Amino acid sequence: MKRIFDLFLAAFGLLVFALPMAAVAILIKLEDGGPVLYRGRRVGLRGKPFFILKFRSMVVNAEKIGASSTSNDDARITSAGKLLRRLKLDELPQLFNVLSGDMSFVGPRPEVQKFVDMYTEEEKVILSLRPGITDWASLWNPDEGSVLAGSKDPDGDYLRLIRPQKIRYQLKYAREHNLWVDICIIAETAWLVLEKFLPQSCRLRHNRGLRPETGQNGNQI
């Protein structure tokens, strides 16, 4: 059922966003003449590597001249890339990853190999899930780049500030995921993206921050 749901939504999304995606492709090409798409190697279902697709928001060969983690003030981000990242438009090509079966709409965000190699035995259950475009961790912290802004060691600060709670949310999803949970995550993700197009006065105030959330018994999730 989840796979059918993914295929339907991905096909529908590509139809709806066909013109915006074409406009983004032209914008990227006009800016510096480089490739429109970025193909990044990630670890997927059962540890199988795949290439995640994004609209290129950084200079060509950016991964060779900097850290894996990216802050909002990273000098490698292009002018067009700043807009694409702010509006999350750079993620749209992942609809093709969903169609191909490498990704799902909802699931743990895929990591690079060096971070997967740090998984404990408990955390390896994350690899039993198809990676996703969004998940609980993405809703908890929808803008990792702002957390890492000004960092002199983006990868180190990612591991210290973001990864621990991100892993907790991914393990929570591994325990509790079902179709209804996926629908709720997609709905809130859609609202977070749509909010970016609204005037500041119309936006809801999200106050997630970098704090571990707790359940009713006070334990971290």
- Give the H/E segment covering residue 41: strand 37-43
Domain locations in the chain as residue ranges: 2-202
Residue located via tokens 């694409």? 84
- Tokens matching residue 165: 């709670």
Taking only the tens place, the pLDDT of each residue in 29-43 is: 999 999 999 999 999
Would you state the pLDDT for residue 214?
A: 42
Please tell me the distance from the alpha carbon of residue 174 to that of residue 142, in angstroms, as a whole number. Answer: 20
pLDDT band at 72 (very low <50, low <70, confident <90, very high): confident
The structure tokens listed for 143 are 């803008």
Beta-carbon neighbour count of residue 60 at 10 Å? 14
pTM of the model: 0.85
